[in-house]
Chains A and B, each alone.
Chain A
Amino acid sequence: MPQIRLTTPLTDEVVEKLRIGQRVLLNGTLYTARDAAHKKMVELLDRGEELPIPIKGQVIYYVGPSPAKPGRVIGSAGPTTSGRMDPYAPRLIALGLKGMIGKGKRSPEVIKAMKQYKAVYFAAVGGAAALLARAIKSCRVVAYPELGPEAIHELVVEDFPVIVVNDVLGADLYEEGVKIYAGR
């Protein structure tokens, strides 16, 4: 299948052209965050403070990697279930977040925010964590080190493979894909 190579940060122009089912190879910087880091970031926003990471045009990867073996950049690093970040995601999308990487369905609120503010949701293959780790070239903690694997890490990736699941039109591959193959 054809693949589209993209480099972060992503612009509206690039994001608008993406459609569900497309395979994308991501390059550049990704930020990791799970529920605990999202909760902290939204609390900062509620207090009117600055986020610990740049958000405009960025892509957040929902992942809590396993510990790195000696001499390695990172441990195994596959996506976690995105639904747990749904309560927080629309706030970040409104501030300019352009992409999220995870696995599993998003809420109607997140899908609406992606449509309104032009953002996309990518799926990485859940459980392909040893394979995905190979695309991660560097990793450093940039916020909340006390959260351990849930700290915010800045990753530099090369050709990190993902699939577009929700696009700016509000389409959802989890719905459309299943319709095509049900009963066949």
Chain B
Amino acid sequence: MRLVDTATITATVAELCQKANYELGEDVLAAFKEALGQEISLTGRDILQQLLENARIAREEQVPMCQDTGFAVVFLEVGQEVVVSGGDLYEAVNEGVRRGYQEGYLRKSIVDHPLRRKNTGDNTPAVIHTRIVPGDKLKIIVAPKGGGSENMSGLRMLKPAEGVEGVKKFVIEQVRAAGPNPCPPVVVGVGIGGTFEKAALLAKEALLRPLGQPHPDTEIACLERELLEAINNLGIGPQGLGGRTTALAVHVEVFPCHIASLPVAVNINCHASRHKEAIL
């Protein structure tokens, strides 16, 4: 048994909210540079250069890379030997979001009710996904998610007979229909299998994988490469103004599913593919 107190959790979440919004990951920067070497559209190249410059300014000046500093999506991996002391775990996370967004000059983009729509003023509540795992550590991942790209995501319950071709068709159609709206070059998270909600969560989790790291299963890794090529053949390009760089990566996660089902979820992330983590 190991004690982790809520004050530490709050402070960590607050710091991760800011870091995620100020400092784009090295994997994304490397993907921009690689894309710049391959992009044939002059406008597309200009845009990629602006994105690299933008990331540099945001990191150096510790300001948000994008004004949409997102919904705070928080993944908690709680070791089963951890005991949280000093209060409510979820309240500690929300307090961290509250402080992080206030002290970090991040935009507050959350409304209290989907229909009444009054801004909560502090970017809470966070969306929190919790997993209980072996061990005595607490892992916290903060992944701020912008509205523009989240709005372009989708889920379909395919017939099992539609198979891998049906999956590819749905994923490509989703990215094509999104066009310029999710701020390409995008990162495409795909969840295949499970139930309705499991597929959506898999797609979201797929966005957390470092860009350029293929799925360990070679068949899925091959599907990722095929999807990436097909998506980049759409010609949408940086910001949708035409070009080869529509997606920086496609990450697929799979899970067993019901004999009658083939759920597929596509969660699109903008080029500001933000997430930072800490282990307590």
Q: Which A residues fall within an 8 A CB radius of B?
A: 1, 21, 23, 63-69, 75-78, 80-81, 83, 103-105, 123, 125-131, 133-134, 148-149, 161, 163, 165, 173-174, 176-184
Contact between B61 and A130 (Cβ–Cβ < 8 Å)?
yes
Complex CA–CA separation, A21 to B106 (angstroms): 33
Contact between A127 and B54 (Cβ–Cβ < 8 Å)?
yes
Known A-B contacts A103-B239, A174-B240, A181-B237; A66 and B67 likewise in contact (beta carbons under 8 Å): yes
Contact between B241 and A80 (Cβ–Cβ < 8 Å)?
no
Residues of B within 8 A of A83 (CB): 181
Residues of A within 8 A of B271 (CB): 127
Known A-B contacts A126-B239, A177-B243; A182 and B67 likewise in contact (beta carbons under 8 Å): no
Complex CA–CA separation, A65 to B63 (angstroms): 12
Chain B residues 210 to 238 lying within 8 A of chain A, measured CB to CB, are 233-237
Chain B nearest CB, measured from A133 CB (Å): 7
Q: Within 8 Å of chain A (Cβ to Cβ): is B105?
A: yes
Residues of B within 8 A of A64 (CB): 67-68, 107
Residues of B within 8 A of A1 (CB): 42-43, 46
Residues of B within 8 A of A163 (CB): 43, 241
Complex CA–CA separation, A146 to B40 (angstroms): 46
Q: Which B residues fall within an 8 A CB radius of A?
A: 40-43, 46-47, 50-51, 53-54, 57-58, 61, 63-69, 105-107, 119, 148, 151, 179-181, 183, 233-237, 239-244, 270-272
Contact between A174 and B63 (Cβ–Cβ < 8 Å)?
no
Contact between B107 and A67 (Cβ–Cβ < 8 Å)?
yes
Contact between A129 and B242 (Cβ–Cβ < 8 Å)?
no
Contact between B65 and A129 (Cβ–Cβ < 8 Å)?
yes
Contact between B57 and A134 (Cβ–Cβ < 8 Å)?
yes
Complex CA–CA separation, A174 to B177 (angstroms): 12
A-B complex: 9 closest residue pairs judged by Cβ atoms: A177-B242, A182-B235, A181-B235, A126-B183, A131-B54, A66-B107, A130-B58, A128-B54, A104-B181
Where chain B touches its partner, the secondary structure class is: loop
Contact between B40 and A181 (Cβ–Cβ < 8 Å)?
yes
Known A-B contacts A127-B183, A128-B51, A182-B235; A75 and B43 likewise in contact (beta carbons under 8 Å): no
Residues of B within 8 A of A130 (CB): 54, 57-58, 61, 63-65
Residues of A within 8 A of B236 (CB): 178
Can you list 19 residue pairs at the A/B interface with Cβ under 8 Å? A64-B107, A66-B106, A75-B63, A76-B65, A76-B67, A78-B66, A78-B68, A81-B148, A83-B181, A126-B148, A127-B51, A127-B66, A128-B54, A129-B66, A131-B57, A161-B50, A178-B179, A178-B235, A183-B235
Chain A nearest CB, measured from B109 CB (Å): 8
Closest to A176 in B: B242
Chain B nearest CB, measured from A76 CB (Å): 4
Contact between A177 and B241 (Cβ–Cβ < 8 Å)?
yes
Known: A123-B180, A178-B179. 17 other contacts (CB 8 A): A21-B43, A23-B46, A69-B63, A76-B63, A103-B148, A103-B180, A125-B239, A127-B66, A127-B270, A127-B271, A128-B47, A128-B53, A130-B63, A165-B241, A178-B242, A180-B41, A184-B244
Contact between B181 and A105 (Cβ–Cβ < 8 Å)?
yes
Contact between A182 and B233 (Cβ–Cβ < 8 Å)?
yes
Known A-B contacts A125-B50, A129-B64; A183 and B233 likewise in contact (beta carbons under 8 Å): yes
Closest to B60 in A: A130
Residues of A within 8 A of B106 (CB): 66-67
Contact between B180 and A105 (Cβ–Cβ < 8 Å)?
yes
User: Looking at the complex, which one of B105, B180, B239 makes contact with A67 (CB distance below 8 Å)?
Assistant: B105
User: Looking at the complex, which one of A81, A149, A178 makes contact with B234 (CB distance below 8 Å)?
Assistant: A178
Chain B nearest CB, measured from A157 CB (Å): 15
Contact between A104 and B179 (Cβ–Cβ < 8 Å)?
yes
Closest to B45 in A: A1
Of the candidates A67, A161, A180, A183, the one having the most CB atoms from chain B within 10 angstroms of its own CB is A67
